[in-house]
C-alpha cells in the first residue's frame, strides 16, 4: 500500500470518527433541549385545576349529603348525584398523569389516587345507605300516620335517627379531604422534582451553548489562520476549505441553539454594546433586535438596583469572568419583572474581553408563588389577618418602639361570646361568615397604625400603639364592642353576638409579648365571668386567682377518694302543717387547708373540667346509702332530692345508673327525687322527655328546680313528666314584709295547680314570705326560716319524730 493510500485511509477514518462525535453531540444537545422544556405549564395547570376542583366537589358532596339528612328543601338527590358523576370524571382525568413526571412520581400519584378512589367508594356507599334509610323513613312515616302509630314507633324512630346520625358521622369522618391534600402534596413533590430536572437540563443547555460559543471562537481563529495560509500556499487549499465548512456547520448549530432557546439571550461587544439578541429576548422584554442593536443593556434598567449593585456585578465579571443572580428589569411596555440573569465574559487568548453573553429567564411566576407562600405563612387564611407568628413580630417591633420612646401601648384580646353555639347550630360556613363580618367591623373600629390579628377560632388581638393609657384603651374597647354587637346577616338568619375583651397595658401589666398576651387573656376571662359583652383591665390578682383555680382543680380531682366530700341536708316541710315532707341533699367540700369550700366555687369548676359526672355519681350513691342507714336505724324516712347536672342527664346510661344506685341500697324508688333545671330540660327536648318518662315509669320523683329563670314554654312544660315545680329563690325574695310584690311566685303556684303539680318554694327566710306562700296554696317550703342545710346526724332527730308523707313507701 502506497503512502498516499495510507494517508487517504487515515483521513477517511478521522472523518468517520468526527462524524460520529458530531452526531453524538447533536443527539446530546437535542436531548438536553427536549428535557429543558419537558414541564409544560398548560399540562400542569390542567392537572392542578382538576385537583382543586375534585377537593371542592368532595366538600360540596359532604354538604349536600348532610343537607339531605337534615331535610334540605331540595326534593331529590340531584346535587349529590351530579357531584358524584363529576368526581368520577375528574378521577378518570387525574389518572392521566402529566408526562413530565418520572415513573416513580407517577406511581406515587397513582397510588394516592387509588386510595382516594377507595375512600370515595366508601363515601358513595354511605350516601347510598343514607339515601335508602331516608327513603325508608319517609315511607314508614307515610304508612304509619296517626297518634297511636307515632307513640308505638317512638323507640323505632329514635333508633333510626341514631342510625342515620351514625351514618352521617361516619360520612363526615371519612378522610377524603385529607387524602385529597395528600394527593396534592404528592403531585406537587413530583412537579417540583420535574421542575428541578428541567432546571438542571437548562443549566446543561447553557453550558453547551457557552461551550459552542467558545468553540466557535476557536474555530474562527483557526479559520483566520487557514485563510492567511491559503495566500501563502495553495498546497493546503483543500484542507482550508474543509475547515471552513466545518466551522460553518458549528456556527449554524450555535445559531439554532441561540434562536430556539427558551431563555432570553443577548450578546454585546467588548464595550457592552448589544450586537445580537434571540427571539426569546424579544418575547420576554418586548424589544426587537432593531430596538436594542447598538444600545447598552442599560436600556432594560428598572431603577430598582442602585449604581453600587452594578459596580459589584461588573467587578465579579472582570475578576471571575461570570456573574449570576436575581435582577429586576423593565419591559418595553414599562412593566417591571424579576429575572434570573447569568453573564459570561468571552475573552481572547490574551485574556482581553471580546464579548459578553447574557442569558436570563423570567421568574415572575416563581416570585409570585414565593410571595403567596410567605403571605400564607404569616396570615390567617380565612380573614387574611396576621396570624400568631406575624402578631409576635409586630408586637415585638411596637414594644421596641415603645421602650425607645418611653411611651405606653395597649394589647386587647377579644373573644366572641357563645361562638361555639353558632357553629354547632348554623354550621361552620355560617361561623366563617360571621368571623368575616366581625373582622371588617373590627378593622373599621381601629386606626391604620393599629394591628388586628386572629389568634385562633374566635379570638382576636388588637395592638394599639397610640393607646398609652387606660382611658384611650377603654374608648377603643367600647367602640369595638359596639361594632361587634350590631346584628349580622347570616343567610336567612339575623344574628346578634357580643364579645368579651381583656386589656393589658405596657409596661404596667408586662414588658414582653408573651406576658402582655397572657395577661390580656386573663382579663378577657374575667370579663366573661362578669357577664360578657364588656371589657376588663388586667390586675395582678387575676393571675393569682387563675393559679388558685388551677390548684383547686387538681385538689378537687382526688377529693372523692380522700373522703373530703360530704352531704348536708335541708328540710322541706308542709306549708300548712310544718310537717317534714322531704330533704334536699346539698354537696359540701371539707378541704383540709381551706376549710369548708363554698359550692359556688367548686361546682362550676367540676362542670368545666368534667369531674361533675364522677362527683354526681358519688352524691347519688351517698344519698342512697344514707337513706338506707336511716331505714336500718328504724327512722321514719322522707324522700331525698338530689340535684343533677346537665352532663349527667346527657349520659346514655343515666337511667340505668340511677336504677342501679337505688336498687343497690335496697330502697323504694319513690324515696329518691331528682331535681333538674329548666335550662337542662330544653337542651335536647325529645331525648330529655324520653329520659324523664323512663325515670317516671321507674317510680322516681322529678321536679324542676329554679323554675321561672329558664326559657321553657308551657307547651313543653305539659310534656315533661315531672311531679313538682320549685319556685326560684329570687322570686321568693321579691315578697315584701307586707306580703306584696309576689306576683311571679303566685303565678307559678297557680300554674302548678293547673298542671296538677306540687309547688315548692325555696329560699324562704321570713314569716311574711311563709304566710304569703301558704295563702297562695304553695305545698312545700324550704329555706333558712325552716332550717339551714345540716349534717346527716342532725337530721336523725327530726326523722325520729316525723310521720311518713301520704303515699310514701318506707
**Residue 516, by phi and psi: left (phi above 0), alpha (psi -120 to 50) or beta?**
alpha
Model confidence at 550, pLDDT cuts 50, 70, 90, reads: low
What is the model's pLDDT at position 810? 29
Q: Using DSSP bridges, classify how beta strands 409-416 and 353-362 pair: parallel, antiparallel or unpaired.
A: unpaired
Residue 177 has pLDDT above 60, yes or no: yes
* Cα→Cα distances 89→43, 51, 57, 63, 86, Å: 17, 12, 12, 20, 5
Model confidence at 544, pLDDT cuts 50, 70, 90, reads: very low
What is the model's pLDDT at position 671? 92
Query: Between these two residues, 440 and 80, which has the higher pLDDT value?
Result: 440
Query: Between these two residues, 133 and 106, which has the higher pLDDT value?
Result: 106
What integer is the mean pLDDT of 278-298?
88
Residue 23 has pLDDT above 80, yes or no: no
- C-alpha 705/C-alpha 721 separation (Å) is 14
The answer to which of 305-309, 506-510, 589-593 has the lowest mean pLDDT is: 589-593
Q: Which run of H or of E encompasses 330?
A: strand 322-330
Model confidence at 483, pLDDT cuts 50, 70, 90, reads: very high
Cell of 369: 408563588
Model confidence at 121, pLDDT cuts 50, 70, 90, reads: confident
Model confidence at 529, pLDDT cuts 50, 70, 90, reads: confident
The answer to which of 33-37, 63-67, 658-662 has the lowest mean pLDDT is: 33-37
Residue 733 has pLDDT above 90, yes or no: no
Q: Look at the block and give the residue holding cell 357580643.
A: 498
The answer to which of 7-16, 159-168, 319-328, 546-555 has the lowest mean pLDDT is: 546-555
What is the model's pLDDT at position 153? 63
What is the model's pLDDT at position 145? 52
What is the model's pLDDT at position 444? 92
**Residue 262, by phi and psi: left (phi above 0), alpha (psi -120 to 50) or beta?**
alpha
449: β partners: none
Q: Look at the block and give the residue holding cell 385538689.
A: 555
Contacts with 538 (C-beta within 8 Å, 6 or more apart), sequence order: 502, 503, 504, 505, 509, 519, 520, 522, 523
The predicted-structure confidence for 656-687, as pLDDT tens digits, reads as follows: 999 998 999 899 988 999 988 776 776 677 78
What is the model's pLDDT at position 152? 55
Work out the mean pLDDT of the chain and round it to a whole number: 83
The answer to which of 25-34, 510-519, 534-543 has the lowest mean pLDDT is: 25-34
Measured torsion, CA atoms of residues 714, 718, 722, 726, in degrees rounded to the nearest 10: 20
3-state secondary structure of 701: strand
Residue 540 has pLDDT above 60, yes or no: yes
What integer is the mean pLDDT of 41-49?
86
What is the model's pLDDT at position 74? 47
Backbone angles phi, psi at 462, to 5 degrees: -115, 130
The predicted-structure confidence for 329-384, as pLDDT tens digits, reads as follows: 999 888 888 988 989 988 888 888 888 898 988 888 887 777 777 777 788 888 99
The predicted-structure confidence for 760-805, as pLDDT tens digits, reads as follows: 999 999 998 999 999 889 999 999 999 999 998 888 888 876 544 4
Query: Between these two residues, 241 and 810, which has the higher pLDDT value?
Result: 241
Residue 215 has pLDDT above 60, yes or no: yes
**Under 8 Å between Cβ of 690 and 663:** no
3-state secondary structure of 577: coil
- C-alpha 48/C-alpha 692 separation (Å) is 56
Amino acid at each position: 500500500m502506497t503512502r498516499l493510500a495510507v494517508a487517504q485511509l487515515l483521513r477517511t477514518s478521522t472523518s468517520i470518527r468526527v462524524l460520529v462525535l458530531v452526531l453524538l453531540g447533536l443527539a446530546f444537545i437535542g436531548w438536553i433541549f427536549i428535557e429543558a422544556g419537558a414541564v409544560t405549564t398548560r399540562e400542569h395547570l390542567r392537572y392542578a385545576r382538576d385537583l382543586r376542583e375534585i377537593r371542592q366537589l368532595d366538600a360540596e358532596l359532604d354538604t349536600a349529603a348532610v343537607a339531605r339528612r337534615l331535610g334540605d328543601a331540595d326534593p331529590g338527590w340531584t346535587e349529590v348525584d351530579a357531584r358524584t358523576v363529576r368526581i368520577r370524571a375528574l378521577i378518570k382525568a387525574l389518572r392521566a398523569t402529566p408526562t413530565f413526571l418520572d415513573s416513580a412520581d407517577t406511581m406515587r400519584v397513582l397510588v394516592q389516587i387509588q386510595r382516594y378512589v377507595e375512600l370515595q367508594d366508601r363515601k358513595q356507599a354511605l350516601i347510598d345507605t343514607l339515601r335508602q334509610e331516608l327513603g325508608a323513613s319517609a315511607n314508614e312515616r307515610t304508612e304509619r300516620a296517626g297518634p297511636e302509630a307515632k307513640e308505638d314507633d317512638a323507640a323505632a324512630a329514635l333508633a333510626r335517627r341514631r342510625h342515620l346520625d351514625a351514618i352521617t358521622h361516619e360520612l363526615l369522618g371519612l378522610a377524603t379531604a385529607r387524602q385529597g391534600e395528600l394527593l396534592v402534596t404528592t403531585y406537587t413533590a413530583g412537579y417540583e422534582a420535574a421542575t428541578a430536572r428541567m432546571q438542571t437540563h437548562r443549566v446543561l443547555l447553557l453550558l453547551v451553548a457557552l461551550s459552542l460559543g467558545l468553540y466557535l471562537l476557536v474555530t474562527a481563529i483557526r479559520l483566520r489562520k487557514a485563510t492567511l495560509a491559503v495566500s501563502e500556499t495553495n498546497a493546503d487549499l483543500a484542507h482550508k476549505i474543509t475547515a471552513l465548512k466545518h466551522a460553518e456547520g458549528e456556527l449554524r448549530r450555535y445559531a439554532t441553539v441561540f434562536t430556539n432557546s427558551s431563555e432570553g439571550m443577548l450578546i454585546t461587544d467588548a464595550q457592552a454594546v448589544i450586537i445580537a439578541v434571540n427571539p426569546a429576548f424579544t418575547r420576554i422584554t418586548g424589544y426587537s433586535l432593531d430596538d436594542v442593536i447598538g444600545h447598552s443593556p442599560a436600556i432594560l434598567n428598572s431603577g430598582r438596583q442602585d449604581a453600587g449593585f452594578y459596580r459589584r456585578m461588573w467587578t465579579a465579571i472582570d475578576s471571575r469572568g461570570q456573574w449570576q443572580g436575581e435582577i429586576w428589569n423593565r419591559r418595553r411596555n414599562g412593566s417591571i419583572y424579576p429575572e434570573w440573569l447569568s453573564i459570561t465574559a468571552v475573552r481572547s487568548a490574551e485574556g482581553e474581553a471580546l464579548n459578553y453573553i447574557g442569558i436570563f429567564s423570567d421568574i415572575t411566576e416563581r416570585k409570585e408563588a414565593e410571595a403567596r407562600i410567605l403571605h400564607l405563612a404569616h396570615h390567617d387564611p380565612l380573614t387574611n389577618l396576621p396570624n400568631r407568628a406575624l402578631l409576635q413580630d409586630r408586637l415585638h417591633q411596637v414594644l421596641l418602639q415603645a421602650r425607645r420612646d418611653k411611651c405606653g401601648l395597649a394589647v386587647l384580646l377579644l373573644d366572641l361570646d357563645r361562638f361555639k353555639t353558632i357553629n354547632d347550630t348554623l354550621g361552620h360556613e355560617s361561623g366563617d361568615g360571621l368571623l368575616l363580618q366581625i373582622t371588617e367591623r373590627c378593622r373599621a373600629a381601629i386606626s391604620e397604625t393599629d394591628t388586628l390579628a386572629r389568634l385562633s377560632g374566635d379570638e382576636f388581638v388588637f395592638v394599639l400603639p397610640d393607646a398609652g393609657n387606660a382611658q384611650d384603651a377603654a374608648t377603643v374597647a367600647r367602640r369595638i364592642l359596639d361594632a361587634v354587637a350590631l346584628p349580622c346577616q347570616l343567610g336567612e338568619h339575623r344574628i346578634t353576638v357580643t364579645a368579651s375583651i381583656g386589656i393589658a397595658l405596657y409596661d404596667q401589666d408586662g414588658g414582653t409579648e408573651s406576658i402582655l398576651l397572657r395577661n390580656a387573656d386573663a382579663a378577657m376571662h374575667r370579663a366573661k365571668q362578669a357577664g360578657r359583652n364588656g371589657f376588663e383591665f388586667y390586675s395582678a390578682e387575676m393571675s393569682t386567682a387563675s393559679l388558685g383555680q388551677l390548684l383547686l382543680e387538681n385538689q378537687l380531682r382526688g377529693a372523692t377518694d380522700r373522703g373530703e366530700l360530704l352531704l348536708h341536708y335541708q328540710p322541706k316541710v308542709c306549708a300548712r302543717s310544718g310537717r317534714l315532707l322531704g330533704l334536699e341533699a346539698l354537696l359540701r367540700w371539707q378541704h383540709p387547708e381551706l376549710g369548708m369550700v363554698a359550692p359556688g366555687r367548686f361546682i362550676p369548676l367540676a362542670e368545666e373540667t368534667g369531674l361533675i359526672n364522677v362527683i354526681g355519681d358519688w352524691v347519688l350513691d351517698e344519698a342512697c346509702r344514707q337513706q338506707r342507714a336511716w331505714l336500718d336505724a328504724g327512722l321514719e324516712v322522707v324522700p331525698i332530692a338530689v340535684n343533677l347536672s346537665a352532663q349527667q342527664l346527657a349520659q346514655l346510661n343515666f337511667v340505668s345508673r340511677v336504677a342501679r344506685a337505688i336498687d343497690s341500697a335496697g330502697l323504694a324508688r319513690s324515696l329518691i327525687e331528682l331535681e333538674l333545671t329548666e335550662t337542662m330540660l330544653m337542651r335536647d327536648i325529645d331525648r330529655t322527655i324520653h329520659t324523664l318518662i323512663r325515670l317516671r315509669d321507674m317510680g322516681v320523683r322529678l321536679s324542676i328546680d329554679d323554675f321561672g329563670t329558664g326559657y321553657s314554654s308551657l307547651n313543653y312544660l305539659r310534656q315533661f313528666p315531672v311531679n313538682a315545680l320549685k319556685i326560684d329563690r329570687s322570686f321568693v325574695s321579691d315578697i315584701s314584709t307586707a306580703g306584696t310584690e309576689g306576683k311571679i311566685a303566685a303565678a307559678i303556684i297557680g300554674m302548678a295547680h293547673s298542671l296538677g303539680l306540687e309547688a315548692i318554694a325555696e329560699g324562704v327566710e321570713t314569716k311574711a314570705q311563709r304566710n304569703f306562700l301558704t295563702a297562695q296554696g304553695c305545698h312545700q317550703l324550704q329555706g333558712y326560716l325552716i332550717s339551714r342545710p345540716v349534717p346527716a346526724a342532725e337530721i336523725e332527730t327530726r326523722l325520729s319524730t316525723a310521720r311518713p308523707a301520704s303515699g310514701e313507701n318506707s
